[in-house]
């Protein structure tokens, strides 16, 4: 008796092919999404540079912008190469698959043709009747009837398999042509990106030659700027410690007044848990912006021997950009720095977010705020036209990487 396993094997093979194709497509889509993000980032850089052209930017500001742009451009080229390499593998896989499908289709058609000839030779009713009448008993006759029916069904399945293989072959051919076209586009785009990178590197070389003539002066500017950033960080930490001490005092436990852990009310705990559950999906503190300085210890873009310790991120944005709170919370403090710009600290249970370098404040201490609510405007440096927001995240007194909290930072 013929077992109807062919269809099952065929469907399983088709499922495995589809799963593999989906996996490759998913990876390809991830790379494409990343490539588009980098392209948008370069567009933002160009837009911000164009808007600041009227300002008399310092050599330091120009070289930092260029360093950042070169870094993004290199990432774009890297991701585009990864896409092209993945497409090459997919093209090779599909070419191999097409070859296998053609062989399978030829074999199926050959077997089907032989089966049709055999069937034609024994097609007459007399042959079938004689086949049944020659049975030695009723049981054998019944089995022969089943065999005739199964053989007819098998013929039908073979015909359907040929149709399915033909469709699969056509679809794979279409996918192959699309992949080849996509690869061609990526290669051409990468050639353009390489030329632009070469231009930027030449510009970078000229700027660095100019800066190296008076390198100590620019190093001093970097150190002065970082000293101011450190002063702001210390002030934010001091205010958070005060808030923690106050919460512990209200909690009525003498031993906790110097604790580094915020004493939370039940309402605070709910808010903190909600904040944590949104980790990685919080909105940006400005609608559009570029992270010009990331979290943690890192070398200066100007001088690799100068290390910068960043407790948060610095986001360059557009002039008059509104600052928005990244999650529901309460305005813990508004800091008015001497010879500096205001800072707003928002508390989310035992978590804090800090927004520094503001020029206007729309909230006051104790206000309850909601996600994406505008709380102020970012200050624009009149000397270079830069609009830079400082943003940091704390759990109690310990800093955390904002990129782990903000969506696609």
What does the alpha-carbon distance between residue 28 and residue 180 come to, in Å, rounded to a whole number?
Answer: 14
Measured distance between the N- and C-terminal CA atoms of the chain, rounded to whole angstroms: 63
Q: Which domains does the chain have, with CATH numbers?
A: 6-212 (1.10.287), 224-404 (2.70.70.10)
pLDDT band at 255 (very low <50, low <70, confident <90, very high): very low
* Spatial separation of the C-alpha atoms in residues 128 and 122, rounded to whole Å: 7
Q: Which residues of 54-76 are buried (b: 16+ CB within 10 A; e: fewer)?
A: eeebebbbbbbbbbbbbebbebb
Taking residues 325-336, report their average pLDDT: 96
Please check the confidence at residue 1 and state whether its pLDDT lies above 60: no
Q: What is the pLDDT of residues 3-54, one digit of tens each?
A: 444 455 455 555 545 554 555 578 889 999 999 999 998 988 888 877 766 5
Element (H, E) at 193: helix 138-212
For 252, the token pair is 């009525």
Range with the poorest average pLDDT among 239-253, 263-277, 371-385: 239-253
Lowest average pLDDT, out of 61-70, 164-173, 176-185, goes to 164-173
- Integer CA distances (angstroms), 106 to 111, 165, 196, 243, in order: 9, 10, 50, 78
């Amino acid at each position: 008796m013929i077992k109807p396993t062919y269809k099952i094997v065929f469907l399983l093979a088709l499922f495995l092919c589809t799963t593999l194709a989906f996996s490759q497509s998913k990876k390809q889509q991830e790379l494409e999404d990343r490539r588009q993000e980098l392209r948008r980032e370069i567009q933002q850089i160009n837009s911000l540079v164009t808007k600041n052209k009227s300002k008399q930017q310092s050599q330091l500001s120009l070289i930092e912008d260029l360093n950042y742009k070169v870094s993004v451009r290199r990432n774009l080229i890297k991701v585009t190469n990864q896409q092209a390499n993945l497409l090459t593998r997919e093209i090779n896989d599909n070419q191999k698959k097409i070859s296998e499908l053609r062989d399978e289709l030829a074999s199926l058609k050959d077997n089907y043709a032989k089966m049709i000839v055999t069937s034609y030779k024994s097609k007459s009713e007399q042959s079938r009747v004689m086949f049944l009448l020659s049975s030695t008993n009723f049981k054998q006759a019944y089995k022969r009837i089943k065999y005739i029916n199964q053989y007819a069904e098998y013929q039908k399945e073979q015909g359907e398999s040929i149709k399915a293989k033909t469709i699969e072959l056509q679809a794979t051919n279409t996918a192959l042509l699309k992949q080849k076209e996509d690869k061609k586009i990526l290669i051409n785009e990468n050639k353009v990106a390489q030329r632009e990178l070469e231009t930027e590197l030449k510009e970078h070389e000229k700027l660095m030659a100019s800066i190296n003539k008076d390198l100590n002066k620019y190093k001093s500017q970097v150190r002065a700027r970082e000293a101011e950033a450190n002063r702001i960080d210390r002030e934010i930490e001091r205010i958070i410690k005060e808030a923690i001490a106050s919460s512990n005092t209200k909690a009525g436990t003498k031993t906790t007044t110097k604790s580094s852990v915020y004493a939370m009310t039940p309402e605070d705990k709910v808010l903190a848990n909600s904040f944590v559950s949104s980790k990685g999906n919080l909105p940006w503190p400005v609608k559009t912006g570029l992270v010009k300085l990331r979290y943690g210890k890192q070398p200066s873009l100007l001088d690799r021997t100068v290390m910068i310790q960043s407790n948060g991120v610095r986001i360059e944005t557009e002039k008059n950009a509104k600052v928005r709170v990244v999650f529901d919370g309460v305005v813990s403090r508004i800091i008015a720095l001497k010879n500096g710009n205001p800072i707003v600290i928002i508390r989310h249970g035992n978590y804090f977010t800090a927004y520094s370098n503001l020029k206007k404040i729309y909230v006051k201490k104790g206000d309850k705020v909601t996600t994406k609510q505008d709380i102020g405007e970012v200050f624009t440096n009149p000397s270079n036209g830069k609009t830079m927001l400082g943003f940091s995240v704390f759990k109690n007194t310990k800093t955390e990487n904002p990129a782990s909290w903000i969506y696609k930072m």
